[in-house]
Structure 1
């Protein structure tokens, strides 16, 4: 007799497509994208605020540290060749007539400056026309020939005392004039031009009590 074989029935899973389900997923993705964008915007805003606050803090700190500066100006020497007849002029107005101040002459020099010292003639004209003339000498190097000025490059910064504990008691304009009088050995006429000086500055600092 012929045996009857067992029929194998395969179950086929039917995947039902739901337009509503797809729309929900798209909506959720859109919401998530908006949230991510909002979060990114918020982070950028916070970073911007932090930068602004940092800038304000640094500015305030610098202002606090330099609040004693009354006047600070540099004038460049053309081609780093300072002729003795070319005085450097500074005009200072609206000075405090009560507070005491220290006055500095600032000099920037390069390795092309060939002397160990610097001679200057500094003139100060008061508002009433009275003039004060000082002949000044400053050491630019130590005994070993090393520069005394600050700076890690070839450009050195020298902050030189000019007048100490001075009160500008008169109201009006104060005129400063600075000339160099540097000369070599047996050099009657002086070094003209004097090379290696890049800038000459004047700085007035109020003495803190």
Structure 2
């Protein structure tokens, strides 16, 4: 019986690994050292973009622990275009409901070694104006110098179905 269960697990794992995310253009997450994100630290990500025709969605990935003391997280996302021009967005991310129950995948209750993952869309159905390397800088925009309990922050860009 154990061999059968192990075989089922192995086959399921191989199927999951072989699945591709056809809409994903870019995804990268930056680990926050010691789960302490200071106001001076930026998560810097660079994406090579070759498609100026398709529309894209932009999403922020956040992993937090129960040590994070707030229900929400505000971040600034600066986009630097290949021609050097830039734009800046302020993004609010809800991490817990009004009762303090954590949102996101990974369960509603955390222990010190676990985390919750949240993915929040902040730009919808946008086209890249230029091909080339785009630089994204994500910095925390909370009113405290050091945020405790943020494991990592990242960016996902995916093609829309349109």
TM-score (norm 2): 0.84
1:93 to 2:48 alignment: yes
Relative to total residues, which structure has the larger strand share, 1 or 2?
Answer: 2
For the residue of structure 2 that corresponds to 1:165, the secondary structure is: strand
Equivalent of residue 146 in structure 2, options 186, 189, 193 = 193
4+ residue segments displaced more than 2 Å: 57-60
1:76 match: 31
Cα distance in 2 between the residues matched to 1:172 and 1:160: 25
| Aligned residue in 1 for 2:139 | 179
In 2, Cα distance between equivalents of 1:125 and 1:82? 22
Cα displacement (A) at 1:110: 0.1
**What are the equivalent positions in structure 2 for 1:26-175 lying under 5 Å apart?**
55=14, 58-60=16-18, 62-63=19-20, 66-152=21-107, 154=110, 155-175=115-135
CA deviation after TM superposition for structure 1 residue 58, in Å? 4.8
**SS of alignment partner, residue 66 of structure 2:** coil
Q: 1:58 to 1:115 in 2, by over 3 A?
A: closer
Does the 8 Å contact 1:96/1:169 carry over to 2? Answer: no
- Partners of 1:160 and 1:58 lie apart in 2 by 23
Larger Rg computed on CA atoms? 1
Please report how far the alpha carbon of residue 144 of structure 1 lies from its aligned counterpart in structure 2 after TM superposition: 1.1
Equivalent residue, structure 1, for 2:5: none
2:49–2:134 Cα contact (<8 Å) kept:
no
Aligned counterparts of 1:192 and 1:169: Cα–Cα separation in 2: 35
Q: How many residues align?
A: 147
1:59/1:113 Cα in 2 relative to 1: closer, same or farther (>3 Å)?
closer
Q: Which has the higher contact order (CA 8 A, sep 6+)?
A: 2
Structure 1 residue 195: Cα displacement:
0.4
Are 1:203 and 2:156 an aligned pair? yes
Alpha-carbon separation, structure 2, partners of 1:181 and 1:70? 27
